[in-house]
Homo-oligomer: A and B are copies of this chain.
């Protein structure tokens, strides 16, 4: 196993950082790494906002639901899906590309591009012995996030990435069985097999939680997922995205 794969397989989210800032060089290395990712037809449909202003970081920490590691870390990045750059390009070229800009397809492209870039940033940071944590919680209140970061139309802040020197290292949670996530030639057609794999995984997760809580936490993966999705979180998202003029057609 090479150093790259070791870094990738050793990933765990870090939610407690030392009081030590990243250097400008570290930040630039992380951003350049993000930019090296593949991008759909060269569109580079994302923007990365580094939040260094402590007041803004404190506000963001509040908005995401009081996560102190959003305020206290070595550097806080926000990855945004960005088609505004294309809207500006269209104005510069004096052409109308509104239908494509507002399409579900280009909305998808901007999300995928931003996520590919972010994962490069995450791996680059981890290779420098930094810890990372993705912050999906910024999608709790995107109107507020948008005001804090002053993002224009055709831009959607997708998630934060807190980076820093780890103060505490967490365990890795076992992932779904490989044979459940990876299929060959066609999607699993046998629902019994599919369910049995989930039941096996439930056992693994149940044991994992029990061992870490002295038997107190009784939970399975399917149970946890269904409870979470039962909460109907962030149901304002469609309106928000469409107000940004994306995913309209």
Contacts and interface: CB of A to CB of B under 8 A. Distances in A.
15 contacts: A4-B127, A5-B29, A8-B123, A35-B176, A37-B122, A38-B133, A49-B184, A49-B187, A50-B185, A89-B222, A99-B235, A100-B230, A100-B231, A120-B123, A151-B187
A90 B221 CA distance: 11
Contact of A176 (B44, B126, B151, B152): B44
The size class of the interface chain A forms with chain B is: 35 or more
A181 B123 contact: no
A197 B150 CA distance: 19
User: How would you classify the secondary structure of chain A's contact residues: helix, strand, loop or mixed?
Assistant: helix
Nearest to A132: B38
Interface string A1-42: 111110111110100000000000001110111111110111
Contact of A181 (B31, B134, B221, B247): B31
Nearest to A126: B4
B33 A225 contact: no
Contact of A105 (B1, B42, B126, B235): B235
Task: Sort A-B residue pairs by CB-CB distance and give the 8 closest, nearest first.
Answer: A4-B127, A115-B115, A119-B119, A89-B222, A97-B229, A100-B229, A104-B238, A105-B234
